[in-house]
Structure 1
């Protein structure tokens, strides 16, 4: 179980970006979080993925409260999360070939020996072709780069997926392909999913349940 209880979070400004937000993602279930741009969804998604320490509130993973964040978190907990961000060009090192981009988490966790097998397994799963792997981000489309970013998120076989506006910049066919790849992974592994977005039709079709931001973080 992934639980966020009464989360307040910001970036040091006079007012928090997120105030008193709570939600629960169950193993094997897909939860959609719907809300307008600028409401704080991405900040809450980063808290859920242990990438941003909240100012107040508690994140609970499998019954244990989280006390350490980002790279200070235990490796087993840190690697239990796979994250796909809205803007692939902001989350990809422009110097890396796509094959190295996908392999980043394996190399960072000392699992280089798994690289070839995992890339061979994931590339067709996310809809990439082998000829793209030696290209760098500026040499591929947004959709192709986002496919590589999804493969990077899956490479460590996470138990929780956080997809923050993953398809917001993509065409309908690429959106369908990426959602299908996520759902195939979840069906095979039982991973839980938090899908953040502003497209209610997409979230309703994709997720087991969709909750609105005003229900997650009610105004006070």
Structure 2
């Protein structure tokens, strides 16, 4: 269980998330909607242990997170994987797609070409694409590589932050199918963040929404923080 309790996040004087609590169980897909600026991506970064909240707690399978970013134990960090909205901002432009997919394995000191090739095939990348760099492939192909990278270490929870934005319908459907197949085979929990209500209706087992969007982070005047609504 991925459990959030009373999480509060602030950017300067603005409270972005205010005492947010919810649970993401293994094996399910929770859809999260809400207007732009309401804190969905901020929440994703907290869940991935990339952003330390001002208050509250996060626990993964009963273990409370006490360190953030590189201070979080590797075993805990790898239990949660984050798939970003903009793949070009999430990769090293100098790496080939095969290297992007294999990054987590290389960081863990156990490179595995066979696993990289298998994952590439699952997400629909052909062998010739694996030798290319990000500027040589489409957004959809790069996002496929990012999904493969997110699944490399078999996380127990997958946070999909607008992963299908600006992708064509066939690529969207394929990525969702890959995530669903992974969930079915491993029992992983999935948080599907999207502004696409039709996608969430079709994909999610249950739905929630962040409401109360305000001005963007860094705006001097405070605005009401979003609340969780089921």
Asked if these proteins are the same fold (TM beyond 0.5), I'd say yes
Aligned residues: 216
Contact 1:51–1:70 (CA<8 Å) still a contact in 2? Answer: yes
Higher normalized helix content (fraction of residues): 1
Other-structure match for 1:85 = 84
- Identify the residue that residue 215 of structure 2 maps to in structure 1: none
Aligned counterparts of 2:95 and 2:10: Cα–Cα separation in 1: 31
Q: CA RMSD in A?
A: 1.5
Matches within 5 A, 1:133-144: 133-144=130-141
1:86–1:169 CA contact under 8 A, matched in 2: no
2:188 to 173, 182, 191: 191
Residues 1-220 of structure 1 mapped to structure 2, 5 A cutoff: 1-11=1-11, 13-112=12-111, 115-214=112-211, 217=227
How many angstroms apart in 1 are the aligned matches of 2:117 and 2:163?
23
The CA deviation at 1:214 is 3.1
Contact 1:87 1:169 in 2 (8 A): no
For 1:104 and 1:178, the matched residues in 2 are separated by 20
* SS, match of residue 51 in structure 2: coil
5+ residue gaps, structure 1: none
- Check whether the contact 2:208–2:228 (CA below 8 A) recurs between aligned residues: no
Using the TM superposition, give the Cα deviation of residue 26 of structure 1 relative to its aligned residue in structure 2, in angstroms: 0.2
Runs of at least 4 residues of structure 1 off by over 4 A?
none
Q: Are the aligned partners of 1:86 and 1:168 in contact in 2 as well (CA < 8 Å)? A: yes
Task: Give TM-score scaled by structure 1 length.
Answer: 0.94
Q: Distance in 2 between matches of 1:168 and 1:37?
A: 13
Q: Alpha-carbon deviations, 1:80-132, whole Å to 9, x = none?
A: 111100000010110100000011111111111xx212112111111111110
**Structure 2 spans left out of the alignment, 5+ residues:** 213-225
Instruction: Tell me the TM-score normalized by structure 2.
Output: 0.90
